[in-house]
Structure 1
Amino acid sequence: MTTDTSREMLRVSDLHAGYGRAEVLHGLDLRADAGRVVTVIGPNGAGKSTLLKALMGVVPMRGEVRHDGEPIGELPLEERVMRGIALVPETRALFGSMPVEDNLRLGAWRQRHQGRAGMDEALDKIYALFPRLKERRVQLAGTLSGGERQMLALGRALMSQPALLMLDEPSLGLAPLVVQEMFRTIDSLRATGVTLLLVEQNARAALAVADYGYVLEMGEIVLEGPAAELAGDPRVVETYLGTVAAR
């Protein structure tokens, strides 16, 4: 699939967001071009998850957010989903008492007009991406391993065929080998044309898979640039990459 990478899929200007009187994000500017992987790294409490929640419409915000050129800052969560935005939250938010395949089907409600054939085709694509989910399609989601739950959360989001997919800490709580597998999957999604906004504490893995990166500290962007350049920036190396390498 060819993608017009010169097209802005996401543009955020002067974004302020928070909870009640506590402002967490202070005037953020960022962009993600179509078909690119953009990462936001930073320490705990920097506001990374708040950023994704604000973009999804579940945290109060002010400023301008444009998706594929159209303003969406005033739209409710449901309308943002219908426009092709999906979020895989840090908590996974699966229905543990439902089978794997039912969880996946719930992710496709945006595409419900496609009928059974369209649903089956979408499922086949997810099972090709995650063969383990096919093996466990009748298993209850709550009985899956941590890595399998993350696969299911990602697969469910992809069932909606999003144009913009946002991932909140996809490596959280996963074993190192599973983390490697997850990031290989994220890298492979480029071929589908989806734009990825990746929030991640594992800065080394995030910058290795991303095209462009932002460093978020105390609610403000303090550094940005091509991911390869950030990975070589002395401040990033000392603050983020060194700690990862020392594990």
Structure 2
Amino acid sequence: MNAPLLQLRGLGVSYGAVQAVHGVELTVNEGEIVTVIGPNGAGKSSLLCAAMGLLRSSGTLALDGVIIARPSVEIMVARGVALVPERRELFGEMSVEDNLLLGGFWRWRKGERDHAARLREVFELFPRLCERRAQLASTLSGGERQMLAIGRALMARPRLLMLDEPSLGLAPLIVREVLQMVASLRELGVSVLLVEQNARAALQVADRGYVLEMGAVVLEGPAPDLLHDRRIIDTYLGIGKKKQPALARA
């Protein structure tokens, strides 16, 4: 059996004396979409930033079974991992096409000259970006900016794409469209680690899910099982008779 594409063991993140994430065990296998759901302040973004090497962490992180002793952005990018941050971090005064080309800069620096082919792939996935390729990024709608942020990350040809709250600030119809596109990334051979507060939308596209509360995993399993779990329904989906304060205390 192949080793997981990404494996976190006992991952912890602290901000001074405050421990934001502790003891997280998480795996993403090749070809999977895995989601991490939970309330605001649960440590979801800290988990992603630590996995990308943006934050110091304790525990171990392994890619393809190889432990990365000191994860850094440079190492993770070189090993085929990309992150789309919550704020998207686009260059508003640059065109859509130039933003995308910047996403492939690391490959260009290595001597890979396949940026034209990568652009075509992104434009096939997001036809709207092709229509707006000459527009400034600052003039795009919220949904289009999210598509651009994902497209820019794909220019680096990642094996694992980590997404931090891609539905944030988007209308429900646009959320569905963006997450359907995320689901289609399997066809490009891209695995996904998706952090989301919109539990229903995330579990509908994911293969497996983890529920994070107070920095710790309190529930995990196949996404369809979590979607129909009464604790998830009552706490996160808002259709139970009485919401429970937290799964950890259920």
TM-score range, shorter chain: over 0.9
Supply the distance in 1 between the matched residues of 2:126 and 2:176 (Cα, whole angstroms): 14
Q: CA 1:152 to 1:243, structure 2 compared with 1: closer, same or farther past 3 Å? A: farther
In structure 1, the residue matched to 2:57 is 61
| Gap regions ≥5 residues in structure 1 | none
Q: Which of 69, 88, 91 lines up with 1:92 in the alignment?
A: 88
Q: Which of 133, 154, 158 lines up with 1:158 in the alignment?
A: 154
Q: Where does 1:1-247 land on structure 2 (aligned, <5 Å)? A: 6-112=2-108, 113-115=111-113, 118-242=114-238
Partners of 2:39 and 2:213 within 8 A in 1: yes
**Aligned-pair CA distance for 1:131:** 0.8
What SS class does the counterpart of residue 74 from structure 1 fall into?
coil
**Aligned-pair CA distance for 1:25:** 0.4
| Gap regions ≥5 residues in structure 2 | 241-250
**Aligned-pair CA distance for 1:75:** 3.0
Q: Counterpart amino acid of 1:86?
A: A
Q: CA 1:243 to 1:72, structure 2 compared with 1: closer, same or farther past 3 Å? A: farther
Partners of 2:51 and 2:71 within 8 A in 1: no
Supply the distance in 2 between the matched residues of 1:19 and 1:77 (Cα, whole angstroms): 19
Partners of 2:50 and 2:56 within 8 A in 1: yes
**Aligned-pair CA distance for 1:73:** 4.2
Supply the distance in 2 between the matched residues of 1:150 and 1:55 (Cα, whole angstroms): 21
**Aligned-pair CA distance for 1:176:** 1.2
Partners of 2:37 and 2:209 within 8 A in 1: yes
**Aligned-pair CA distance for 1:83:** 1.0
Q: Counterpart amino acid of 1:178?
A: I
**Aligned-pair CA distance for 1:21:** 2.5
Q: Counterpart amino acid of 1:98?
A: M
What SS class does the counterpart of residue 238 from structure 2 fall into?
helix
Deviations 1:160-186 (A, max 9, x none): 010110000000000111111001101
In structure 1, the residue matched to 2:246 is none
Partners of 2:60 and 2:67 within 8 A in 1: yes
Q: Counterpart amino acid of 2:30?
A: A
Partners of 2:162 and 2:192 within 8 A in 1: yes
Q: CA 1:130 to 1:201, structure 2 compared with 1: closer, same or farther past 3 Å? A: same
Q: Counterpart amino acid of 1:177?
A: L
Percent sequence identity is: 56
Q: Counterpart amino acid of 2:9?
A: S
**Aligned-pair CA distance for 1:20:** 2.4
Partners of 1:18 and 1:59 within 8 A in 2: no
Partners of 2:52 and 2:71 within 8 A in 1: no
**Aligned-pair CA distance for 1:190:** 1.2
Deviations 1:61-106 (A, max 9, x none): 0100001212224032112111111000000000111111111011
Tell me which moved more, 19-28 or 197-206.
Answer: 19-28
Supply the distance in 1 between the matched residues of 2:69 and 2:225 (Cα, whole angstroms): 31
Q: Counterpart amino acid of 1:89?
A: P
Partners of 1:126 and 1:155 within 8 A in 2: yes
Partners of 1:25 and 1:219 within 8 A in 2: yes
What SS class does the counterpart of residue 25 from structure 2 fall into?
strand
Q: Counterpart amino acid of 2:54?
A: V
Q: Counterpart amino acid of 1:197?
A: L
